[in-house]
Amino acid sequence: ILGRLVPFAAVVSAGIVNVFLMRGNEIRKGISVYDSDGEEVGKSKKAAVIAVGETALSRVINATPVMVIPPLILVRLQRTVLKGKPFSVQTLASLGVIAVTAFTALPFALALFPQRQGIHLNKLESELQGKKNKDGKNVELVYFNRGM
């Protein structure tokens, strides 16, 4: 069973490394944060760390159902129902289990973190605090695009 889960570890590790390598510049320079009117308030490194971290976590969550559930189910099926069946039947069963898992679990995994996320300005860098919107009111909540 553990041997069937080795690809899961490889996919998750590669996904996490990929996110941090491809989006490392965002962490170093920051990402734009916007007020409720869509006006840019500034750039935030803290928001970038949140966005990149959640993207890395969503890669793990996206891979988990498809890479873990089918191998565990197929081990059972191959010992019982699929035992002695032709290779083509086993292949169709594998594809069916993977498809059902993907179509069922992945939408939930993708919806776990919102694309546009709000955060209170007091949780970000001090230079962003005290910013005012175009009406002259203090901005308290800002939004950023988490990315995929």
CA distance 148 to 73: 29
Identify the pLDDT of residue 80: 92
Question: How remote is the C-alpha of 99 from its chain's centroid?
Answer: 20
CA distance 21 to 119: 25
User: What are the mean pLDDT values of the chain's consecutive 10-residue runs (148 residues total)?
Assistant: 81 93 94 90 93 91 88 90 92 94 85 88 87 80 86
CA distance 59 to 109: 9
pTM: 0.79
Beta carbons of 50 and 120 less than 8 angstroms apart: no
